[in-house]
Structure 1
């Protein structure tokens, strides 16, 4: 992969709470540009017109499944046959990078949309052509997902030429939050799957796409359980999901974007160091992050998942866990019900006992404090 001639989106490296409106200065034309709608989607549509995707995701049928939660069903027949197969063991969250297996340095130049780097001032800029500084670290890039789930489905690949394995670190997670903040659109979300939680490529990446309805998990009530040590109301708060099939934690607030990023990244690092697979959903322009420890692949390996669920060939990764069910058979789509979605996702979740153990471990190791428990 050559990154020397890519367009550059330079984001404002402001780690405060405020969320921008998505405008930036174009050093080529001097006019405001909407990052999400004009740049990302424009580049994505250009690649669609070039025929670079394995199928036309815009023709996939989609519906809201009747019920309390409004799970979203999509019929995507054959996606599992056309996407790249998993090339590593599913029982280890941390595995070394293997240059002999597929990785993002092997994608074609035409699949890469632009570089995504911090600017040198407190403004965002777009440069249609900007040479890579030889002294610069390996650039971070945005590329298409050639097997898309939704319109505008892209990958954020931090420091692509460093060949980092699929594992969360503080700087890379902060980069993902900056992308969510720059997009400044509540319908643009980023997701992350660890190894063992249905990541299929062991090269560090986040996924992102635009969906113009709320994910069901975004509407679920929460209960505040933790608050980071610090001044009252100034730290990151941690809540747990209530009345949802997958047990999970929700991180919010914080004085700065880095405060929030560090709290989530530290928790992820603890999980991956203890071989606990997990998924992440970044919502609300980077202000709200859902963390789901999960065990579906482990249950599959132990023969504890029903044949009925296995026959659907649905691998519940971050999008499915969040309520966007990508179904691969017409029968499953036509018969999709809230009861089915709940049953599938319940198999993903840690048991209440195990979840409490993991929560207590994260609580103690992260330096978080129990707060007065109250519903939100």
Structure 2
């Protein structure tokens, strides 16, 4: 992780967000745009070494920040997290011409306008032994834009958008997933989580990530795991099932081979996308662990956002916030969960793909 002070000039790291004001411009920056550029270390393996020794806070205690944000840990064994944000508006995004960005919340699947001023910086692959921060540079074709989210649910809630997204319509690919994972590695903060959502009927072409800083571990991170594939002591990929969670969930980890982890997860996601499956990813633990949240497909089901799948719910009404309970949230999660047969088939698919790629 590189430390940097506020840069002077036309570009800045922080931009004020006035309520629920939607982004104003119709286009993503075109060729010739200059932004703050952060170049990653040349080697993904070297970046991974930066987060050695870090661990997740498993106590999930109520924090001062949580109190100021009107957030609460729900009573019960699962420690679901609820936040009150009466100004949060999942409907604030508006359509633009052929530009699609991952939805802001669980109830809407619309597009987002992007203004050049909403770009915090661009992240791209570097060629040096250490990360480099440049105050003004052209946007590289293979870069990832970090864009302000007009309706953040938590501190540091941003979009992570591959730059060529606006030039080439495509689904999630290995290069994008590798970039995003390395960003998580180089941030080197276990409070930093990255999300990806795939809802084919609502967003058939966009490959966009969201990221947040959550001070406490998310509820799904606190539960025990049951092995599905691999040995946790091996250097390959280890797949586990989260036990005792209302939404059937898998985790993917690798001790020393982050690129193999990305390859396996990407191959699984590709198969799920081909099948028009609804699923979300959570990248946590400085890029070393990836959660897969599959959701059942139903015309009457409201699909959950990635952070809701992880146990973090945002409420717009004080009454709902005050009256929420572990049982209520558990029912919501269970309503979109795969049945036993479908989840078994998914586990078999993941094991088969992992075995093919690891061997």
Q: TM-score per shorter chain, which class?
A: 0.7 to 0.9
* Contact in 2 for aligned 1:226/1:369 (Cα 8 Å): no
What is aligned with 1:117? Answer: 124
Query: 1:159 Cα shift?
Result: 2.7
- Output the CA distance in 1 between the equivalents of 2:93 and 2:336: 23
Query: 1:246 Cα shift?
Result: 0.8
1:152 pairs with 2:156: yes
Distance 1:202 1:62, change over 3 A: farther
Distance 1:177 1:251, change over 3 A: same
How many aligned residue pairs are there? 306
What is aligned with 1:33? Answer: none
Question: Which of 344, 349, 362 is matched with 2:350 structurally?
Answer: 362
CA displacement 1:327-375 (0-9 Å, x = unmatched) = 23222111011111111000121011111012212322443599xxxxx
Matches for 1:1-376 after TM superposition, within 5 Å: 1-2=29-30, 4-16=33-45, 18-20=48-50, 60-77=69-86, 79-80=88-89, 82-84=91-93, 99-102=97-100, 106-132=113-139, 136-165=140-169, 167-196=171-200, 202-227=205-230, 233-295=234-296, 298-299=297-298, 301=299, 303=300, 316-367=304-355
For the aligned residues, what is the CA RMSD? Answer: 3.0
What is aligned with 1:95? Answer: none
Distance 1:13 1:223, change over 3 A: farther
- Output the CA distance in 1 between the equivalents of 2:98 and 2:186: 35
Q: Which runs of 5+ in 1 are unaligned?
A: 23-56, 88-97, 371-376
* Contact in 1 for aligned 2:220/2:311 (Cα 8 Å): yes
* Contact in 2 for aligned 1:158/1:175 (Cα 8 Å): no
- Output the CA distance in 1 between the equivalents of 2:335 and 2:200: 15
- Output the CA distance in 1 between the equivalents of 2:225 and 2:183: 25
- Output the CA distance in 2 between the equivalents of 1:74 and 1:342: 16
More helix by share: 1
Distance 1:174 1:257, change over 3 A: same
CA displacement 1:80-108 (0-9 Å, x = unmatched) = 454326x7xxxxxxxxxx94355589511
* Contact in 2 for aligned 1:58/1:151 (Cα 8 Å): no
What is aligned with 1:39? Answer: none
Distance 1:181 1:369, change over 3 A: closer
Q: Which runs of 5+ in 2 are unaligned?
A: 1-28, 53-65, 102-110
Q: Secondary structure at the match of 1:204?
A: coil
Normalising by structure 2, report the TM-score: 0.77
* Contact in 2 for aligned 1:19/1:182 (Cα 8 Å): no
Distance 1:187 1:227, change over 3 A: same
**Deviating more after overlay: 252-261 vs 175-184:** 252-261
- Output the CA distance in 1 between the equivalents of 2:221 and 2:159: 22
